[in-house]
Amino acid sequence: MSTLYRRLADELRAGIANGTYPPGSRLPSESELAERHGASRGTVRQAFTVLAADGLISSRKGTRRLVLGPALRQSFSQLHSFSRWAASIGETSGVRMVELVRREPTDLEAERLELSADTRIYHLTRVRLLSGRPVMVERTAYVERIGTLVGGIIADAGDESVTARLEELGVVFAHAEHTVSAITAEAEDARLLGVRPHSALLRELRRTTDPDNRPLEWSDDRYLGDAVAFTVHSSVRASTLIRSSAPSR
């Protein structure tokens, strides 16, 4: 069994450690590394697989591999806000607006937002981008008083962080419940993210409440499987949920 791919992986790992390839930079392409080391592209891909398994580079194929930074502990505001999280890992956030509609809540939305069936909600659908790459479909149901504000924010600012603007307007996001699960992409998710149907996605369901524990929003966020990882740190006293950019395994 050839060990060339392991030597190559060790060399690249050393380059990442000493700053030759800092977090956020791209490694040389498969063809460049193959020529430089007199190896096949298959050998280079094996080295990439080793580094991806160690969480050092992205596992996305068809492009130069991205060097990943260490998982970052996040404040509540970073975990709640995609834009703040992107900034915390050195990425540029972006958004593609799909729709904002005022409608009756579904049974699940009414339950999670503690609403009666005859009330109205605002439902926002957007595609979130990391440095230009679509990585998440965001579907958020807001109680009407918050949704009215969201409508004004979207009309005025478009791609600005909705969370930050709501906070400026006096809305306090105090508590959140998160449920994370693995799913496959439905047709609409696949179309919005530019992937094949049934591709692996990570789903985060989130209910956010104010300081009086009144529901403000119920969100169904669906991430590309190789875009993020969620880590829970547990102890007797507390558990901390961390979102990080990470490769799929």
Domain boundaries, the chain: 4-53, 76-244
Give the per-residue pLDDT at 109.
96
Give the per-residue pLDDT at 236.
46
Rounded CA-CA distance 50/172 in Å is 44
Q: Where does 4-53 sit in CATH, by number?
A: 1.10.10.10
CB hemisphere CA count around 157 (13 angstroms): 15
The two three-digit tokens of residue 158, written as one number: 């478009």
End-to-end CA distance of the chain: 23
Is pLDDT of 107 > 90?
yes
153, 132 contact by CB (below 8 A): no
Q: Is the dihedral of CA 27, 28, 30, 35 positive or negative?
A: negative
The two three-digit tokens of residue 166, written as one number: 């709501």
Rounded CA-CA distance 162/153 in Å is 7
Q: What is the pLDDT of residues 137-188, one digit of tens each?
A: 999 999 999 999 999 998 876 556 788 888 888 888 878 888 889 999 999 9
- Residue 26 has what DSSP assignment? B
Is pLDDT of 235 > 70?
no
Give the per-residue pLDDT at 100.
96
**Residues counted in the chain:** 249
183, 193 contact by CB (below 8 A): no
How far does Cα 137 stand from its chain's mean position?
9
Name the 3-class secondary structure at 247.
coil
Looking at the DSSP bridge assignments, the partners of residue 123 are 101, 141
Top mean pLDDT of 34-43, 105-114, 239-248 is at: 105-114
Give the per-residue pLDDT at 142.
98
> Rounded mean pLDDT of the chain?
83
Ranges assigned E (strand) in the chain: 93-103, 121-130, 133-143, 175-184, 200-209, 215-224, 229-234, 239-244
Domain spanning 76-244, CATH class: alpha beta
Pairing of the two strands 200-209 and 215-224: antiparallel
Q: What average pLDDT does the segment 204-226 reach?
A: 91
